[in-house]
Amino acid sequence: MRLALWIGLFALGLAGVAVPVFYHQLAAELPILETEEDFQALRGAGASTGGSNPQGGTRPDGLDFARLPRDLVAAYVSQTGCPGYFQSPREDGLPWLSRMLAGLWGIELDGDGKCERLFALRIAGSLRLGRGLSRWVAANKIHRLLQKDALIANDLSTVALEPSVIGVGAAAQALFRKQLHELQLSEIAELMLALPPYELYDELKKCRHASVIRQNRDYLLSLLVSHALVPSERASSAQSHPVACTE
């Protein structure tokens, strides 16, 4: 019994040394990402470990949270499964570390921290920061630097839908010929379908499967109502609209 206890303590001590060393080795594969200024420099330059876009894609559209329509933010947190995202505190410390480690094993822990993790991973992926475990490290660093609203703003403004369309602002222009703030609620719900997990950008742009687009759009609008993020009257009105590309 005593031997097993000593072996356990030795294993814990070894992990306490090996894990930080391994983490720093992975971090060394990434661009410098220690301050928010470092992050903004990477983001603004479209920099990444993979270099610039060889296909000539544009840079992220530079949206900040204050410029995002409230309905769009509501739709986004609703569809990602965190309708109470802004009612819960930012996840840090041991709960965040537990979530990140669980994620490595494919385990999704409950709580709005799951969306903080999702947004940080998406940003790291959009900026091509590392691969595999080094991307996990990049996401952890991004989360340390950005507040909850900044995680959403950067996720939405760095998502690449095609080489020339990066960010929801560019997507609004490509799909609806409108500025983001000009979109109606029905169009915002359709725009959400262009993003993960739906990824129907091509269908929206080429107006394919309009009935499927409408079905999914109306489902997203019903989610907004069930999460008390939009009044039922507004959602019903939006559901009565035809799919934008068919008008």
pLDDT (0 to 100) of residue 35:
87
Take residue 213 and report the two structure tokens written for it. 């687009």
Take residue 181 and report the two structure tokens written for it. 């703030």
The burial of 102, by beta-carbon neighbours within 10 Å (0-12 exposed, 13-18 middle, 19 or more buried), is given as: middle
Domain span at 133: 20-48+91-146
Is the same domain home to 245 and 192?
Answer: yes
Q: Is residue 77 part of a domain?
A: yes
Is the same domain home to 117 and 194?
Answer: no
Q: Is residue 171 part of a domain?
A: yes
Give, for all 247 residues of the chain, the pLDDT tens digit: 554 433 333 333 333 444 565 466 666 677 888 888 888 888 876 544 333 333 334 455 666 788 899 999 999 999 999 999 999 999 999 999 889 888 888 889 999 999 999 999 999 999 988 888 888 889 999 999 999 999 999 999 999 999 989 999 999 999 999 999 999 999 999 999 999 889 999 999 999 999 999 999 999 999 999 999 999 999 999 999 999 999 8
pLDDT (0 to 100) of residue 58:
46
Q: Is residue 56 part of a domain?
A: no
pLDDT (0 to 100) of residue 2:
52
Q: Is residue 62 part of a domain?
A: no
- Whether pTM > 0.85 for this model: the answer is no
Q: Which residues pair with 165 in a beta bridge?
A: 162
pLDDT (0 to 100) of residue 44:
72
Q: Is residue 155 part of a domain?
A: no
Q: Is residue 152 part of a domain?
A: no
Q: Is residue 2 part of a domain?
A: no
Is the same domain home to 175 and 137?
Answer: no
Q: How many domains does the chain have?
A: 2
